[in-house]
Amino acid sequence: MTAIQKYSTKERDQDRARILQILLTNKAVASGILAKEPFAETQSAEQDIAEIVTLVGRLPAPDLADVLEALPTEERLALWSLVTEDRRGSVLVEASETVWDDLIEDMSDKALLNALRPLDIDDQIYLAQYLPRDLVGRLLATLPQNERTQVRQILHYDKHSVGAIMDFEVITVRPDVTLAVVQRYLRLRGKVPQNTDKLFVTSRDKTLLGELDLHRDFAACAANAGV
């Protein structure tokens, strides 16, 4: 039986240093990764890029976070683009808040949600405190009811979090339900939770399919009904 080779601390240190060396000494590498220069004009950078891809694939999340924090903005974005979507959430958890803006600025809401989903509930709660309210609502809509309740309670009662001044109760509906049916449900429910301006459309497996704006969509429905 072949023994699994341990990824030692020394090797991790060397790999982190190698990524920094490549990105900080050869500007064509970051430009090539970000497609600012054609690869045909940066042939010497292609091997370096391939090496970085390999190193990124094996470095643990804390090490990647350390490297990202040590890089200038352009090189940081280049390296971040090589981190696969399924690992981005774990890297964000390890990274300092000072680099979050750079890392998530160009990520779509869908990409951010996909990055958060593989995380355990504690890490999701940690990151949710720093995300825009609309995005937190989308995240909650994809969680099972017990986890959704847990996240809401922590966000609502932690006096240091943005949730301390927001109610994150989320109402979800199925895609085959009409607006008229949803309107009847809301009337029967009586009071809509404070700060609720959207309903989230989810499938039975909690996949987020879309959103309904309580003001725009329901006003349009009422107008059509009156025609």
* Of 143 and 118, more confident: 118
Q: Domain boundary residue among 133, 151, 166?
A: 166
96 falls within a domain: no
**Do 190 and 217 reside in the same domain of the chain?**
yes
CB distance 117 to 88 below 8 Å = no
Structure tokens at 1: 């039986």
Which is higher by pLDDT, 135 or 40?
135
Q: What is the pLDDT of residue 17?
A: 96
The pLDDT score that the predictor gives to residue 40 is 47
Residue 89 lies in a domain: no
Asked whether residue 20 falls in the same domain as residue 67, the answer is yes
Give residue 182's pLDDT band: very low, low, confident or very high (50, 70, 90): low
Mind listing the pLDDT tens digit for each residue in 87-102?
A: 999 999 999 888 988 8
Q: Are residues 7 and 78 in the same domain?
A: yes
Residue 92 within a domain: no
Q: Which residues contact 134 (CB under 8 A, 6 or more apart)?
A: 109, 198
Instruction: Give the total number of structural domains in the chain.
Output: 3
Contact 79, 52 (CB under 8 A): yes
CA dist., res. 221 & res. 226, Å (int):
9
Is there a single domain that holds both residue 45 and residue 123? no
Please tell me whether residues 11 and 70 are part of one structural domain: yes
Q: Are residues 141 and 66 in the same domain?
A: no
Percent of the chain with pLDDT over 70: 60
Q: Specify the pLDDT at position 18.
A: 96
Instruction: Give the domain-ending residue among 49, 84, 119.
Output: 84
The answer to whether the CB of 168 falls within 8 A of the CB of 137 is yes
Indicate if 38 and 60 belong to the same structural domain. yes
What's the domain range around 131? Answer: 108-166
Highest mean pLDDT among 31-35, 76-80, 212-216: 76-80
Quick one: average pLDDT of 134-145? Answer: 70
Q: What pLDDT is recorded for position 12?
A: 94
Residue 198 lies in a domain: yes
- Name 208's bridge partners: 202
What does the buried/exposed string (b/e) look like for 30-59 if buried means 16 or more CB atoms within 10 Å of the residue's CB?
bbbbeeebeeeebeebeebbeebeebbeeb
Structure tokens at 70: 């040590």
- If asked whether residues 142 and 178 sit together in one domain, one would say no
Both 213 and 143 in one domain: the answer is no
Instruction: Of 77, 94, 88, give the one whose Cα is nearest residue 30.
Output: 77
For residue 20, being part of any structural domain is answered with yes
Residue, of 7 and 202, whose pLDDT is higher: 7
Q: What is the pLDDT of residue 167?
A: 42
The answer on pLDDT for 186 being more than 80 is no
Instruction: Look at residues 116, 149, 166 and tell me which one is the last residue of a structural domain.
Output: 166
162, part of any domain: yes
Whether 206 contacts 146, CB under 8 Å: no
| SS3 label, residue 210 | strand
pTM: predicted TM-score of the whole model, two decimal places? 0.63
Domain membership flag for residue 220: yes
Higher-pLDDT residue of 39 and 151 is 151
* Contact present, 103 and 92 (Cβ < 8 Å): yes
Q: Are residues 151 and 212 in the same domain?
A: no
Q: Are residues 188 and 161 in the same domain?
A: no
**What would the pLDDT profile of 193-213 be if each residue is shown by its tens digit?**
555 666 767 776 666 667 677
pLDDT at position 194: 57
What does the pLDDT average to over 138-149? 70
Q: What is the mean pLDDT of residues 64-92?
A: 95
Q: Do residue 125 and residue 192 come from a single domain?
A: no
**Cβ proximity of 83 and 115 under 8 Å:** no
- In this prediction, residues 134-154 reach a mean pLDDT of 68
Query: Is 95 within the bounds of a domain?
Result: no
